[in-house]
């Protein structure tokens, strides 16, 4: 087979299996090699395909799913050019088609003769594999389904040109590689440096799930809508009382705009020095990225905010058009302030300079949105709405009476305590039924 002739689609993360399989395709009936050794390698490939099915959640024809997974995860000049934008022009299409011709040969390969020659009939099980109910360790159900559907769609393509068109449509709709398949990411430091890795399990919060705060949500939606539409948008700070839905609003934004190319990268305070390297990895991609900082605040002795200031605005390098910073905080001004900052007599001769330094970070967020704790009436409305959505069988009088008791000992009036109260009721009532 011609895996060594590939031009664009090379350096696969799970590529060893491909090379072993294609080597077997070429040499399984070669008398030079020991038949038992060939059969052992064939069994080893069978083992790895089944292990991949368990790890990735694949089903159906595992060989096809494996090949489809290689294609959707290979970030090259063609696949990255097609992500979100669709078909591109130029000679690169000839190189892409050249590789797809080879992949179609892999895809259409008939293993019948190899199974008979090497006496490995068990390989037939991977051609119509039924997966277990266990969730994938790599992909969520949605992503796994997309790859399996793509593998099935390739079966309907009679020519390499059709297969290339199907793959290009996938790149346009979903993207390529980790940024195409996943919504949210975190930063990991290892021997290779700074890596952006997917977060596999995220809360599927929707904006409609957040009761109240309509004005605050609209400001956040309007800014994000401008951003994903390619218009001017601002960095955004969500501040206010604890448990009021600041973090949930940003999670909901990530879910709402994923299909339009929005991705979110969570960054912690101790990782701010790596921000420039993170931005360097994403600035040339066709996605829109929100760098998300949860519960952002600084004590006087913490100087990490200086790195953040330079990244947001003030460094020599301009922040890319496809990157915004969204942060949540319980503090309006992010950096702890003291009364002595404004005293006339103090060690610092220039009092106003100290104040301006502490305010300079928050001023670099063009949009600030306040989330305040609900009053009693608003809290009760949140509880009633959540109870209705959860289809709780309880009278309004009892519901509100119990909710009032709950909030007194569980953090006060907030959307978080309301949700915790509903979860408590759902759990206890389920136990009672059992």
pLDDT 10s digits, 34-76: 999 999 999 999 999 999 998 888 999 999 999 999 999 999 9
pLDDT tens for each residue of 231-258 = 999 999 998 888 888 888 999 999 999 9
Residue range 8-23, pLDDT digits in tens: 998 898 889 999 999 9
Q: Quote the pLDDT of residue 161.
A: 96
Residues with Cβ within 8 Å of residue 27, at least 6 apart in sequence: 33, 38
Task: Give the helix/strand (H/E) hosting 292.
Answer: strand 288-293
Band of pLDDT at residue 350, cut at 50, 70 and 90:
very low
List all residues 6 or more positions away from 49 whose beta carbon is below 8 Å from its beta carbon. Answer: 17, 62, 63, 66, 126
**pLDDT tens digits for range 304-329:** 666 677 777 655 566 789 999 998 98
pLDDT at 26: 92
pLDDT of res. 1: 62
Q: What is the rounded average pLDDT of the residues 111-136?
A: 87
Averaged pLDDT of the chain? 85
H or E segment to which residue 370 belongs: strand 367-371
pLDDT at 405: 85
For 198-371, CATH number?
Answer: 3.40.50.300
pTM of the predicted model as reported, rounded to 2 decimal places = 0.81
Instruction: Provide the pLDDT for residue 100.
Output: 97
| pLDDT tens-digit series, residues 396-413 | 888 888 888 898 888 788
- At residue 394, the pLDDT reads 87
- Position 335 pLDDT exceeds 60: no
pLDDT at 413: 86
Q: Are 100 and 163 in contact (CB under 8 A)?
A: yes
pLDDT bracket for residue 31 (50, 70, 90) = confident
| pLDDT exceeds cutoff 90 at 81 | yes
pLDDT of 353 reads 44
- pLDDT tier for residue 191 given thresholds of 50, 70 and 90: confident
> Percentage of the chain with pLDDT > 70?
86
Domain ranges (residues) in the chain: 3-181, 198-371, 376-433
Give mean pLDDT, residues 374-389: 88
The three-state secondary structure class of 89 is coil
User: Please, which pLDDT band fits residue 133 given cuts at 50, 70 and 90?
Assistant: low
Tell me how far CA of residue 72 lies from CA of 1, 86, 159, 248, in angstroms.
21, 14, 19, 30
* Confidence label for 336 from pLDDT (cuts 50, 70 and 90): low
Distance in angstroms (rounded) separating the CA atoms of residues 245 and 222? 17
Task: Provide the pLDDT for residue 432.
Answer: 52
> 92 pLDDT band (50/70/90 cuts)?
very high
When pLDDT is averaged across residues 179-197 and rounded to a whole number, the result is: 89
d(CA 264, CA 291): 6
38-42, 346-350, 426-430 — most confident range: 38-42
Ranking 72-81, 105-114, 309-318 by mean pLDDT, the lowest is 309-318
Q: Among 105-119, 307-321, 370-384, 398-412, where is mean pLDDT lowest? A: 307-321
């Amino acid at each position: 087979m011609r895996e060594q002739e590939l031009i664009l689609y090379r350096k696969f993360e799970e590529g060893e299996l491909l090379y072993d399989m294609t080597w077997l395709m070429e040499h399984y009936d070669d008398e030079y090699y020991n038949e038992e050794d060939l059969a052992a390698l064939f069994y080893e490939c069978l083992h790895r395909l089944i292990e991949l099915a368990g790890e990735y959640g694949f089903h159906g024809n595992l060989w096809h799913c494996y090949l489809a997974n290689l294609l959707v995860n290979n970030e090259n000049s063609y696949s990255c050019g097609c992500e979100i934008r669709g078909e591109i022009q130029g000679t690169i299409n000839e190189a892409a088609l050249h590789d797809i011709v080879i992949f179609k040969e892999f895809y259409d390969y008939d293993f019948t003769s190899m199974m008979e020659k090497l006496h490995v009939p068990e390989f037939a099980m991977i051609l119509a594999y039924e997966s277990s109910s266990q969730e994938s360790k790599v992909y969520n159900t949605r992503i796994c389904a997309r790859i399996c559907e793509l593998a099935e769609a390739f079966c309907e393509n009679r020519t390499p040109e059709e297969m290339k068109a199907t793959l290009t449509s996938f790149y346009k709709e979903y993207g390529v590689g980790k940024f195409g398949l996943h919504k949210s990411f975190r930063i990991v430091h290892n021997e290779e440096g700074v890596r952006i890795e997917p977060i596999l399990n995220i809360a599927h919060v929707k904006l409609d799930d957040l009761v109240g705060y309509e004005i605050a949500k609209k400001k956040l939606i309007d800014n994000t809508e401008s951003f994903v539409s390619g218009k001017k948008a601002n960095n955004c700070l969500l501040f206010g009382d604890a448990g009021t839905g600041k973090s949930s609003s940003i999670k909901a934004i990530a879910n709402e705009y994923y299909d339009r190319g929005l991705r979110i990268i969570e960054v912690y305070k101790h990782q701010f020095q790596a921000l420039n390297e993170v931005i360097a990895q994403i600035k040339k991609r066709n996605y829109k990225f929100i760098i998300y900082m949860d519960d952002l605040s600084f004590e006087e002795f913490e100087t990490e905010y200086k790195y953040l200031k330079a990244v947001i605005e003030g460094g020599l390098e301009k922040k890319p058009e496809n990157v915004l910073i969204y942060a949540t905080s319980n503090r309006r001004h992010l950096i702890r302030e003291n009364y002595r900052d404004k005293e006339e007599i103090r060690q610092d001769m220039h009092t106003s300079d100290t104040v301006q330094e502490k305010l300079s970070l928050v001023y670099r967020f063009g949009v600030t949105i306040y989330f305040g704790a609900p009053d009693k009436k608003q809290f009760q409305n949140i509880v009633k709405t959540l109870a209705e959505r959860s289809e709780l069988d309880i009278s309004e009088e009892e519901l509100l009476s119990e909710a009032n008791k709950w909030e007194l000992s569980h953090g006060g009036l907030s959307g978080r305590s309301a949700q915790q109260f509903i979860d408590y009721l759902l759990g206890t009532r389920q136990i009672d039924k059992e």
